[in-house]
Amino acid sequence: MIKVNSDVTVRPGEKSIGVGIIFRDHSDSMLAALAKRIVGCFSIETAELLATRERLLFVSRIGLSVSILEYDPLRVIHGLQETHPLASNAYIFSDVKALLNSTKCSTCHFVPRAIKWLTF
């Protein structure tokens, strides 16, 4: 089992967000890490969606298959479960949904921030 922990940094007044992703094995040893800055001013919800997109793109590039996506922003989970989210970031939701399908992720769960993990 490989776990992927990701988080996003949104600082008011800055024109970018930071995304951090860490891959760990069953014994919590670090296997890989990714840090990326995305230019733009985003809401926290949009930043979390962009972080999920980056996480899934990285997973897709290295060829892993996602079985469970654990997520802490409940509004994002609801948006991913809707057929047509009515939001300013609907295109990002659609992109993330397509990536979830291509990586064969079948389940999205709400998990409080303290124990957020993406499990493969």
| CATH code of the domain in which 60 resides | 3.30.420.10
pLDDT at site 71? 62
Across the range 95-114, mean pLDDT stands at 70
Question: Euclidean distance between the first and final Cα of the chain, in Å?
Answer: 6
The residue assigned the tokens 């993990």 is 117
Average pLDDT over residues 66-88: 65
Domain extent for 51 = 3-119
Bridge partners, residue 69, by sequence = 108, 118
Averaged pLDDT for residues 70-75: 64
pLDDT of residue 68: 57
In 25-100, beta strands by DSSP E: 30-39, 68-71
Q: How many other CB atoms are found less than 10 A from the CB of residue 8? A: 21
Residue 64 has pLDDT above 90, yes or no: no
Count of structural domains within the chain? 1
Q: What confidence score (pLDDT) does residue 8 get?
A: 86
**Rounded to two decimals, what is the model's pTM?**
0.75
CA distance 44 to 22: 20
